[in-house]
Amino acid sequence: MKQIVYNSIIAFFASLVTLLNLSFAAASTPLVSSEWLSKNLEASDLLIIDLRNSIDGGGYETYLEGHIPGSIHSDYMKAGWRVARNGIPGLIPSEKEFQKLARSIGVNQNSHVILVPAGVSSTDFGSSARAYWTFKSFGHEKVSILNGGWTNWKKTYPSQIETGAPIAPLTGNFVASLATNDYIDTNGVEQIVKDKSSQVILLDGRPEKQFWGEEKHPKVLAAGHIPGAKLLTQSEAYDEINNSLKQIEALDEIYGDISEKPVVSYCNTGHWAAMNWFVLSELLGNKNVLLYDGSMVEWTQDSTRPLVKEKSNFMKIKEFFRLG
C-alpha cells in the first residue's frame, strides 16, 4: 500500500514538473531554433505566426500546402503589418490598427509570439524582423523569430507538418501601447542631420548602388543617401547557404564598433532597415538603435531635404584599387 502511495506521489510530481516545463518552456529570446520550437510546441503561451507573403513567393496558398502545427497565417504584405499614410508606404500602424491585427490572430498579453519567415533570403527575413520590431514598439516583449524559418522546419521535421486551414484563433486580449524608444520619424532624422556635432550613426541598409544614387526604389523621388550616412547592406548579416542569420561572432565582426554607438537604421521603406535594427539591438545588445520607418521614400518627399550621391575622392580611389 505504501509503495502504491509513494508511486502515486512520484507520478503526481512528475506530471507537475511536466506542466511547469510547458508553462515556462517558452522563455523569450530574439531567435529560436527549429529544435527549440519542436520541444516547446505544446507550451500553453506559444503563438506561432507564419508570415509568408509575396516577398518570398508565398502566401496563404503555400501555407495551406504545409505549415508548422498550430501556426496561424498572417500575410506580412497584406494583413496590416505596415500601412500607407499620405502616400508613404511601409509605415508603422497606429495603436488601434495594430491592436486589431494582433487580437485577430489571437495575441494575448502573455503570448510568446514566434514569427516564422519563409527562410529563403535576407529580404524575406526582413519580414519577420520588421514584425518583431513592431511588436516591441507596441509594448509586447515576448516575441522571437524562428531562425531558418519554414524552410529549416520542413527540412528538420518533415513529419511535423500540418496542411489545410487551421481552426480560427480566439480573439486575443493584447493591448497596444506605442513607445518611442525603438522608433524615429522624419523630424527626428532632420535634427540629427542638422546637428553637425551629432554622434548618431545613420545606417543605410540598402544595396550599394542605391546608396550612391546609381539606382533607386520606384517610390523614392530622388536618388542618393542621407548626408552623413554609413552603408551596411542588410544582406551582410545573412548566411545565404543555410538561409539563417550568421553566427554571433561573424555579426560582431561585421558591425564592429557600430554596435556600441547610437544608431538610426533606415533603407527605402523601413523593411531592410529592420534587419540591421534587429541584429544591433536584439543580438549585439545595442539598446540605442532607432528604426526610421519612413526611410528614403518619406525623406525624398520634400525636395529641400539634403541628399548625397557623389562619391568622395577617397571612395573613388578605394574602388579603383579594388577593381584593379
Better-scored residue on pLDDT, 268 or 2: 268
Cell numbers that stand for 27 in this block: 522563455
Better-scored residue on pLDDT, 97 or 321: 97
Q: What is the pLDDT of residue 277?
A: 98
In the predicted model, what is the mean pLDDT of residues 43-64? 98
- Judged on CB neighbours under 10 Å (0-12, 13-18, 19+), 304 is exposed
Q: What is the pLDDT of residue 181?
A: 87
Q: What is the pLDDT of residue 27?
A: 60
The answer to whether the CB of 178 falls within 8 A of the CB of 138 is yes
Distance, in Å, from the CA atom of 138 to the CA atom of 250, rounded to the nearest integer, reads: 30
Percentages helix, strand, coil for the chain (3-state, rounded to 5) are: 40, 15, 45
Residue entry with cell 554609413: 230
Q: What is the mean pLDDT of the chain?
A: 91
Q: Is pLDDT above 80 for 34?
A: yes
The CATH architecture annotation of domain 23-156 reads: 3-Layer(aba) Sandwich (3.40)
160-213 pLDDT tens trace: 999 999 999 999 999 999 998 899 999 999 999 999 999 999 999 999 999 999
Q: What is the pLDDT of residue 13?
A: 38
In the predicted model, what is the mean pLDDT of residues 68-88? 97
Residue 212 neighbours by CB distance under 10 Å: 18
pTM for this prediction: 0.89
Better-scored residue on pLDDT, 141 or 20: 141
Q: What is the pLDDT of residue 317?
A: 58
Beta-sheet strands, E only, within the chain: 31-32, 46-50, 72-73, 83-85, 88-91, 112-116, 143-146, 183-184, 201-204, 230-231, 238-239, 244-245, 263-266, 289-292
The stretches of 107-247 forming alpha helices (DSSP H) are 122-137, 149-156, 186-194, 208-211
Pick from 291, 85, 320, 124: which is nearest to 204 by CA? 291
What value does the CA radius of gyration of the chain take, rounded to a whole number of Å? 22
Contacts of 231 (CB under 8 A, 6+ apart): 204, 206, 208, 211, 225
Q: Is pLDDT above 50 for 11?
A: no
Distance, in Å, from the CA atom of 91 to the CA atom of 291, rounded to the nearest integer, reads: 11
Per-domain residue ranges of the chain: 23-156, 183-323
Q: Answer yes or no: CATH 3.40.250.10 is held by domain 183-323.
A: yes
130-163 pLDDT tens trace: 999 999 999 999 999 999 999 999 999 999 999 9
In the predicted model, what is the mean pLDDT of residues 253-264? 96
Q: What is the pLDDT of residue 180?
A: 83
pLDDT band for 310, please (50, 70, 90 cuts).
confident
Contacts of 224 (CB under 8 A, 6+ apart): 212, 213, 307, 308, 309
The two domains 23-156 and 183-323 share their CATH topology (first three levels equal): yes
Better-scored residue on pLDDT, 120 or 181: 120
In the predicted model, what is the mean pLDDT of residues 79-96? 97
In the predicted model, what is the mean pLDDT of residues 35-63? 97
Q: What is the pLDDT of residue 28?
A: 82
Better-scored residue on pLDDT, 120 or 9: 120
Pick from 265, 252, 321: which is nearest to 292 by CA? 265
Q: What is the pLDDT of residue 15?
A: 42
Instruction: Answer positive or negative: Cα dihedral of 83, 49, 46, 150.
Output: negative
Q: Is pLDDT above 50 for 320?
A: no
Q: What is the pLDDT of residue 269?
A: 98
Cell numbers that stand for 110 in this block: 502573455
